[in-house]
Amino acid sequence: MTTTIRKCTLQDLQALKEISIQTFDDTFRAKNKPENIDVYLKMTFQSSLLAEELAHPSSEFYFIYYNNQLAGYLKVNTSDAQTEKMDKNSLEIERLYLLSSFQKKGLGDEWMKFAFKRAKELNKHSIWLGVWEKNENAVAFYKKYGFEKVGAHSFYMGDEEQVDWIFSVAL
Ligand SMILES: CC(C)(COP(=O)(O)OP(=O)(O)OC[C@H]1O[C@@H](n2cnc3c(N)ncnc32)[C@H](O)[C@@H]1OP(=O)(O)O)[C@@H](O)C(=O)NCCC(=O)NCCS
């Protein structure tokens, strides 16, 4: 098997939109009200917003391919692109997703190694992320890579208040 990671450009907008919607839907629909998920998907993954995110100088999107098939995407932020006020020496993993059929094949490990490598290249001292407390799979995955809970914040999925745990790891 071959695994390739490459940086996304504006040319990838449509593919990025499709994989963003699909992976979010697969991950969260079962544990949420369908109407809340529908609105969230429509608002968050609008082409115009994704295009702005792709153009942001402090955000980077990547695609991962497994045997030349698109398998997932990653979004990392630094400096003012971070979604919380954080240290300028930190890198945020904002989105890290694999399509269901490509999970448990080692690609999560590839993503994590890549994120650590990228953070070091950018001279960052830590990586942080927000993860829904009920996303037990992702919580266990991040703990495996040394992430620890350093805080929490509220997040609204439609009319429902949810808690995201803030996880961080020093490099
Ligand atoms: C989280 C996710 C990226 C993990 O990817 P994956 O393909 O399952 O991970 P891998 O197979 O590469 O596993 C990497 C390591 O993490 C471990 N791991 C993965 N999931 C785990 C879990 N639920 N509990 C404990 N360990 C876990 C694996 O055992 C492996 O370690 P090992 O090599 O020592 O066995 C993937 O499940 C996913 O995309 N989930 C849906 C999206 C999501 O929730 N994203 C996070 C949003 S914050």
Q: Whose CA is nearest to atom 3 of ligand 1?
A: 108
Task: Check if the beta carbon of residue 71 is closer than 8 Å to that of residue 102.
Answer: yes
Whole-number Å distance, alpha carbon 139 to ligand 1 midpoint, is 9
Condensed to tens digits (0 to 9), the pLDDT of residues 115-143 reads 999 999 999 999 999 999 999 999 999 99
> Is 103's C-beta closer than 6 angstroms to any atom of ligand 1?
yes
Residues that are catalytic: 142
CA distance 52 to 101: 29
Strand, helix or coil for residue 60: strand
CA distance 168 to 124: 12
Condensed to tens digits (0 to 9), the pLDDT of residues 34-92 reads 999 999 999 999 999 999 999 999 999 999 999 999 999 999 999 999 999 888 899 99
Whole-number Å distance, alpha carbon 89 to ligand 1 midpoint, is 26
Taking the model in full, what pTM does it have?
0.97
Task: Check if the beta carbon of residue 159 is closer than 8 Å to that of residue 36.
Answer: yes
Strand, helix or coil for residue 58: coil
From 25, 105, 129, 14, select the one nearest 63 (Cα to Cα).
14
Condensed to tens digits (0 to 9), the pLDDT of residues 148-169 reads 999 999 999 988 999 999 999 9
